[in-house]
Amino acid sequence: MAASATEARHPSSAGLHARPAAEALALLLDAQAGAVQAVRDAIPALARAADAAAASLAAGGRLGYAGAGSSGLMALADCLELAGTFGIAPERTPMLFAGGAAALLHMKGSVEDDPALALADLDRAGLGAGDTLLCLSASGRTPYALSIARAARERGVTVAGLANVPGSALLELADIPVLIATGAEVVSGSTRMGAATAQKVALNMLSSLVGIRLGHVHDGYMVNVVADNIKLVDRAARIVAALARVGRDEAEAALDATAGAVKPAILVARGMTPAAAEAALRQNGGHLAPLIRWQDGSATDETPNTGERP
């Protein structure tokens, strides 16, 4: 059976075991950098996937992640970050990982070959019509990923399939195929390397665009951050101070008035009451930009309803 692209021999792998340490590490780094460059060709597909995911979340639906092995770990890492970075409740971003929590401590390859396990995980996640699923498999042929993608589509879920092999089954199955053609690994078949690195970069980009589309990023600030530790409390105050153009004390007072919620605190620091700030954000889909333009006197004909008189 012919090897897939991720199983093929890398042209620089011969003699790897005998290379001096610095030379071997440089070769490995170059391969990782090359894999990241493969993400550029996937940008149009990643944009479509991000728009689908944002639309699902904006409509009250969910964004699921699914994968096995290294691909599953990349999916899990991105999934777990959404709550803290963008304030998206974890129950709205279910993770389907082959083998579940136990596999995080001792990964077993057999779980990725079990279609029944995949379907049970999909049932548990409860994804359905209107939701979006990001399904990852480096080879694009992992049975766990394929079973989930196929069944999810049958349930009306929009499936974005991320794979590193052209023409693979996952890309054929997906509503939104995302090819990240990283090619052969320096350590043959070790897709935790180039393929996984490129997947992580792609997911970083995709979920950041989701945050932007939902209004959770403004001028590069994460304005829906959940400030649940000292570092993030400090970051929240700095964000409010910067976007409201006020001092630290005023920023902290505004955050106190909004129970730590950054978006309404920015509006409070700029002169709104907490209730009016919350209402204005609801009426504008959680987006700060039209409200800040209105407060700055640069509103268009589509002036937002803020609940207060100018």
Set 7, 23, 81, 308: catalytic member:
81
Q: Is 217 helix (H, G, I), strand (E, B) or coil?
A: strand
Q: Are 98 and 111 in contact (CB under 8 A)?
A: yes
Tally of CB atoms within 10 A around 68:
29
Q: Side chain identity at 93, as an amino acid letter?
A: T
Q: Which two tokens stand for residue 51?
A: 């728009």
Query: Nearest CA to 288 among 271, 253, 264, 269?
Result: 264
Q: Which two tokens stand for residue 85?
A: 């970075």
**Alpha-carbon span 266 to 142, nearest angstrom:** 46
Q: Are 79 and 136 in contact (CB under 8 A)?
A: no
Token pair 């970069």: residue: 201
Per DSSP, 109 falls in state G
Phi, psi of 139 (to 5 degrees): -75, -25
Is 81 a catalytic site residue? yes
**Alpha-carbon span 79 to 94, nearest angstrom:** 8
Set 7, 23, 91, 112: catalytic member:
112
Q: Is 226 helix (H, G, I), strand (E, B) or coil?
A: coil
Query: Nearest CA to 288 among 301, 269, 83?
Result: 269
Q: Is 165 helix (H, G, I), strand (E, B) or coil?
A: coil
Can you give the length of the chain in residues?
Answer: 310
Q: Name the strand (E) or helix (H) holding 240.
A: helix 230-244
Q: Are 66 and 75 in contact (CB under 8 A)?
A: yes
Phi, psi of 257 (to 5 degrees): -70, -20
Is 112 a catalytic site residue? yes
Q: Which residues are catalytic?
A: 81, 112
